[in-house]
Amino acid sequence: MSKVIISCAVTGAMHIPTMSDALPLTPEHIAEESIAAAEAGAAIVHLHARVPETGAPTGDPDIFARFLPVIKQRTDAVINITTGGSPAMTVQDRLSAATRFKPEMCSLNMGSMNFAIFPAARRISEWKQDWERDYVVNSDDFIFRNTFRDIAYILQSLGEAGTKFEHECYDVGHLYNLAHFLDRGLVKPPFFVQMIFGILGGIGADLDNLMFMKQTADRLFGKDSFQWSVLAAGRHQMPFMTQAALMGGHVRVGLEDSLFIEPRKLATSNAQQVEKARRILAEMGHEPATPAEARAMLGLKGGDRTAI
Ligand code: KMH
Ligand code: ZN
């Protein structure tokens, strides 16, 4: 049985409360969902925060502080804090929780891009929160900023704390950006590449593109210098998770990336998606890596060396 790291991205910033009642909004619900996802087999939990009263994405470290210690006490899962935040945040806002808590892992978005969710607006007639409609509709004019200077700053400021990165690559050019930082010595093997498919503004969710991204990464980095994972948005989540596992990759699921458990059926929880991933992996002769195994594979500093 080979070991596959399951990451679970619990709430994110792409989805809004109106889209699903299962989306965790409060610190208590984020903690509960993360713990259940870890118990279901997720070795890494990837975390964003939201304003409890409105569900709006926030980078406020004081809100992260209301769930991070709970997750740490109740699971051995690797805590991965976003530096991507949401479209409404400055780069500084996006970094404030990661710099305060110095987690074992953070996401690191490997290039600026359009990052759009506005097509979802045509499927929504009633909005639960007054911030939601503009947040969704105005994403047609949003540039997700990740300049080379931003990326270098994040690598240097968080790298000193021993934080390792989930390098989020939404397109093939982002792999070349990562190679640039390898050449500069700001990224060192073993590193962790998260290949992302199906975001409007990034590479499309076609299997040819998964093969292309993996071949490009192998050519740029050398097969043995990195661990790689795949996440795909929405209806593509489970097919791409399955294909990634067939190719020897790790996988990411969670309500941040897809609200569904199967086409046109909303997931009831993050754990439900982790359990489905676990079943699919088992059919292929894989089992979920434990947090300790994930730490060994990724060269992480250990849960006792954070400020959580
Ligand atoms: N929302 C995912 C597609 C981040 O948090 O830094 C990518 C992500 C970005 O998780
Ligand atoms: Zn995220």
The mean per-residue pLDDT over the stretch 138-149 comes to: 96
Give the residues surrounding ligand 1 with Cβ less than 6 Å away: 9, 12, 14, 82-84, 107, 109, 168, 196, 199, 256-257
Residues 152-193: tens digit of each pLDDT: 999 999 988 999 999 999 999 999 999 999 999 999 999 999
Whether residue 178 lies inside any domain: the answer is yes
Residue 52 resides in a domain:
yes
Residue 24 CA to ligand 2 center (angstroms) comes to 14
Evaluate whether residue 131 is within a structural domain: no
**Domain contains 137:** no
- Specify the CATH number for the domain of residue 200: 3.20.20.70
The Cα 252–Cα 118 span in angstroms is 24
Decide if 169 is inside a domain: yes
> Average of pLDDT values for 73-85?
98
Protein residues placing their CB within 5 Å of the ion ligand 2: 12, 82
Dist. CA 48 → ligand 2 center (Å): 6
Domain count for the chain, please give it.
1
pLDDT attached to residue 232 = 98
16 has pLDDT over 70: yes
For residue 102, what are its two tokens?
């110095």
**Structural domain of residue 24, as residue ranges?**
2-113+143-305
Indicate whether 121 belongs to any domain: no
In a domain, 293, yes or no: yes
**Closest ligand 1 atom, CA of 109?**
6
Q: Is residue 130 part of a domain?
A: no
Q: What is the pLDDT of residue 88?
A: 80
The 10s digit of each residue's pLDDT in 279-292 is 999 999 999 999 99
